[in-house]
Amino acid sequence: MNPLRAQLRHEVSTTLRNSEQLLLTLIIPVMLLVFFSLVDVLPTETKDPVDFLAPGILGLAVMSAAMVSLGIGTGFERTYKVLKRLGATPLGRGRLIAAKIGSVIAVEVVQFAVLVPVAYALGWRPSAPNWLGALAAVIIGTIAFAGIGLSLAGRLRGEINLAAQNGLYLVLLLLGGMVIPFAKLPGPVSAIAKALPSGALADVLRETLAHGGVRPGTSWAILLGWAVVAPAVATRLFRWD
Amino acid sequence: MPATDADSVRVEGLTVRYGNLVAVDDVSFSAAAGEVTAVLGPNGAGKTSAIEVCEGYRPAAAGHVSVLGMDPARQQAELSARMGVMLQEGGVSPSARVSDVARQYCDLYGKGVAPAELLETVGLAARARSAYRRLSGGEKQRLSLALALAARPDVAFLDEPTSGVDVTGRQLIRAIVRRLASDGCAVVLATHELDEAEKVADHVVIFDKGRVVADGTLDELRRGHDEIRFRSSPMLDLDALGVALGLEVRRVGDDEYVVDSDASRVAALTGWLAAHDEPVNDIRAGRQRLEDVFLRLTGNGSGASS
């Protein structure tokens, strides 16, 4: 078995067996989708709350896997010198990063395989969805969020990184246009929210899946900007030990 | 000890700096295939920094390092396939299962080592399903050693392999280290446990303040430094005994004394003790222990870790 496959298998099995990661990447998104679709308390301004929520929750799932799960796991691996030890194997840093990206993609496949049918079961009927466009948004969003997660993981100590990733997750969830529309946020907060990667990803997913984006062109540009800047920052900040 | 073509590890004029701090200062040493080389030194002596350059973790500010004929900084990918590494601590996620980690490293190195066989070798077969955090300190060290063995290494850098390990575990680790060397591997062992180095090493390199202060076989380091070590009354008159022997007598414990001399003075010593009604509870004449060599060279009694 070549080193990349060996590490990819280890990463995927470790992630999928980790109950905390499972809670974060799958159970919380499913619960939010189900609860707020059935209990109409969010000011979604769509006929059915699930029409607004489903693309946003898919964006949340991407953020959970690519930023929080990857960032927390990698941060602790750095603290426990796992990355340092792996650096002295034939794996090398390039293949280690490739294995981690592969692991995030595997988690996202599982997330979408669960979330999309759940959304359909809740009555989501996207009109003429552009799945290819949505896939592009997910890939660009994954790169952007992975860059943010690794920027924190590469610098902060394990426990501080854990707190920072969870705190950022909560902020981006609430302010990122994923479950609360931009229009319902106070003016200055709304402006900031639109510049966040979470808001941009949710907006382009709404546009590609249901033509419901608020300003898709700008959101694509913002998302691409984060996908360029965040990995560059991670590359500069990251410490392997 | 001058480097030869047979050396697997050759370090020549190595300097390592952290900002303005010179951690390793123009150091040279070598380690040969089929031998265990122990690297000793007090805290902050620079031995771990030097070894990390050999492992490819750290750049050299000056000097030349060759491991298996390769430059670790530029050829780490190629070198790592033939190199076993044991970190001083950590290297495994606390939640990782022992069998999973063994399998991961066997697959990463791809040398055909069976994970179950590897765990059997280090005496961890019964803990295969345990999480790493549930292992004792000694078991963690043995797992770390197992991961180094998964490479079927031609060179192995082992940092404190017996730290926190019980007596049985130490014997097992010593046997594995000796077997590695007898299979042709160059084993470089950093340890603060001088008796471990004494038991397992063929060649010793002693670091102090970033420099190598001694380099040779155990016999070479002890040569010319014979001693008589004995136990007697705690109230022994050292001055009077010293005058009688014509040598300084040093107290090294409550009732333990050392005279820097070969065995020819044993008769005079025991005669003086008998004449003064002083007991002789234990007496040994011979080469200095590695600990004494270490203390003489470094003037440091605080241990040898760095």
CATH at B173: 3.40.50.300
Q: How far is CA B107 from CA A2, A224, B102, B210, in A?
A: 7, 37, 9, 38
Q: Is residue B200 part of a domain?
A: yes
Top pLDDT among B293 and B11 is at: B11
Interface of A with B in 86-145 (CB under 8 A): 86-92
Cβ pair A3:B147 closer than 8 A: no
pLDDT of residue A127: 80
Domains contained in chain A, number: 1
Q: Tell me whether residue B267 is exposed, middle or buried, using C-beta atoms within 10 angstroms of its C-beta: 0 to 12, 13 to 18, 19 or more.
A: exposed
Cβ-Cβ contacts under 8 Å, A96 against chain B = none
Phi, psi of B291 (to 5 degrees): -60, -40
Residues 6+ apart with CB under 8 A from A218: A194
User: How many CB pairs below 8 Å do chains A and B form together?
Assistant: 74
- Distance in Å, alpha carbon of B91 to nearest chain A alpha carbon: 4
The shortest CB-CB distance from B107 to any of A1, A87, A92 is to A1
Report yes or no: A172 and A148 within 8 Å, Cβ to Cβ. Answer: no
The answer to whether residues B70 and B175 belong to one domain is yes
**Lookup result for tokens 């765990």:** B119
Residue B304 pLDDT greater than 50, yes or no = no
Top pLDDT among A229 and B222 is at: A229
- Nearest chain B residue to A93 by CA: give it: B77
**Rounded-to-integer distance, Cα A218 and Cα A93, Å:** 34
In terms of Cα–Cα distance, which of B145, B306, B211 is closest to B13?
A: B211
The answer to whether residues B166 and B250 belong to one domain is no
Query: Tell me: the pLDDT tens digits for B27-61?
Result: 999 999 999 999 998 878 898 999 999 999 999 99
C-alpha of A197 from chain center:
9
Q: Is residue B159 part of a domain?
A: yes
Residue B220 pLDDT greater than 90, yes or no = no
Cβ-Cβ contacts under 8 Å, A10 against chain B = 100, 104, 107
The answer to whether residues B168 and B280 belong to one domain is no
Share above pLDDT 90 across residues of chain A, in percent, rounded to a whole number: 56
pLDDT of residue A110: 94
Q: How far apart are the first and last CA of chain B?
A: 22
Residue B280 has a CB neighbour count (10 Å cut-off) of 14
Q: Is residue B235 part of a domain?
A: yes
**Rounded-to-integer distance, Cα A218 and Cα A140, Å:** 14
Q: Is residue B164 part of a domain?
A: yes
Average per-residue pLDDT for chain A: 90
In a mutational test of the A interface, the residue from B52, B108, B141, B157 whose CB has the highest number of chain A CBs within 10 Å is B108
Domains contained in chain B, number: 2
Residue B300 pLDDT greater than 80, yes or no = no
In terms of Cα–Cα distance, which of A105, A112, A110 is closest to A131?
A: A112
pTM exceeding the 0.90 threshold for the entire prediction: no
Question: How is residue A65 annotated by DSSP?
Answer: I
CATH at B234: 3.30.70.980
The answer to whether residues B211 and B172 belong to one domain is yes
Q: Is residue B292 part of a domain?
A: no
The shortest CB-CB distance from A89 to any of B57, B80, B94 is to B80
Cβ pair A88:B83 closer than 8 A: yes
**Rounded-to-integer distance, Cα B121 and Cα B167, Å:** 17
- Distance in Å, alpha carbon of A239 to nearest chain B alpha carbon: 12
In sequence order, the β-bridge partners of residue B84 are: B156
The answer to whether residues B77 and B13 belong to one domain is yes
- Nearest chain A residue to B91 by CA: give it: A82
**Rounded-to-integer distance, Cα B224 and Cα B25, Å:** 28
Domain that holds residue B283: 226-287
Report yes or no: B66 and B9 within 8 Å, Cβ to Cβ. Answer: yes
- Distance in Å, alpha carbon of A17 to nearest chain B alpha carbon: 10
Cβ pair A92:B147 closer than 8 A: no
**Rounded-to-integer distance, Cα B273 and Cα A238, Å:** 67
B99 by DSSP, 3-state: which? Answer: helix
The answer to whether residues B18 and B73 belong to one domain is yes
**Rounded-to-integer distance, Cα A175 and Cα A199, Å:** 8
Tokens of A178: 């994923």
The answer to whether residues B257 and B273 belong to one domain is yes
Domain that holds residue A30: 3-237
- Nearest chain B residue to A76 by CA: give it: B93
Cβ pair B91:A81 closer than 8 A: yes
- Give chain B's contact residues with A (Cβ, < 8 Å): 55-57, 76-77, 80-81, 83, 85, 87, 89-96, 100, 104-105, 107-110, 147, 151
Cβ-Cβ contacts under 8 Å, B77 against chain A = 90, 92
The answer to whether residues B267 and B159 belong to one domain is no
- Nearest chain A residue to B56 by CA: give it: A88
Residue A81 pLDDT greater than 80, yes or no = yes
Cβ-Cβ contacts under 8 Å, B85 against chain A = 85, 88
Report yes or no: B162 and B5 within 8 Å, Cβ to Cβ. Answer: no
The answer to whether residues B158 and B278 belong to one domain is no
In sequence order, the β-bridge partners of residue B287 are: B226
Q: Is residue B124 part of a domain?
A: no
Cβ-Cβ contacts under 8 Å, A77 against chain B = 93
Q: Is residue B112 part of a domain?
A: no
The shortest CB-CB distance from A7 to any of B91, B94, B108 is to B108
Which ranges in chain B belong to alpha helices (H)? 47-55, 76-80, 98-109, 115-121, 137-149, 167-182, 194-200, 218-222, 238-245, 266-275, 290-298
A237–chain B Cβ distance below 8 A for any pair: no
- Nearest chain A residue to B111 by CA: give it: A1
- Distance in Å, alpha carbon of A205 to nearest chain B alpha carbon: 36
Residue B305 pLDDT greater than 70, yes or no = no
Under the banding of pLDDT at 50, 70 and 90, the label for residue A14 is: confident
**Rounded-to-integer distance, Cα A207 and Cα B248, Å:** 91
**Rounded-to-integer distance, Cα A141 and Cα A154, Å:** 19
**Rounded-to-integer distance, Cα B170 and Cα B9, Å:** 25
Share above pLDDT 90 across residues of chain B, in percent, rounded to a whole number: 66
The answer to whether residues B193 and B244 belong to one domain is no
A34–chain B Cβ distance below 8 A for any pair: no
Tokens of B226: 């014979």
pLDDT of residue B1: 55
Query: Tell me: the pLDDT tens digits for A118-154?
Result: 999 999 988 888 999 999 999 999 999 999 999 999 8
Q: What is the dihedral of CA A45, A49, A55, A61, to 10 degrees?
A: 130
**End position of a domain, from candidates B178, B205, B221:** B221
- Distance in Å, alpha carbon of A168 to nearest chain B alpha carbon: 24
**Rounded-to-integer distance, Cα A146 and Cα A104, Å:** 9
Question: Which long-range contacts (C-beta less than 8 Å, at least 24 apart) are formed by B137-142?
Answer: B137/B163, B137/B164, B137/B165, B138/B164, B138/B165, B138/B166, B138/B169, B139/B169, B140/B89, B140/B92, B140/B164, B141/B86, B141/B165, B141/B169, B141/B173, B142/B169, B142/B172, B142/B173
Cβ-Cβ contacts under 8 Å, B56 against chain A = 87-88
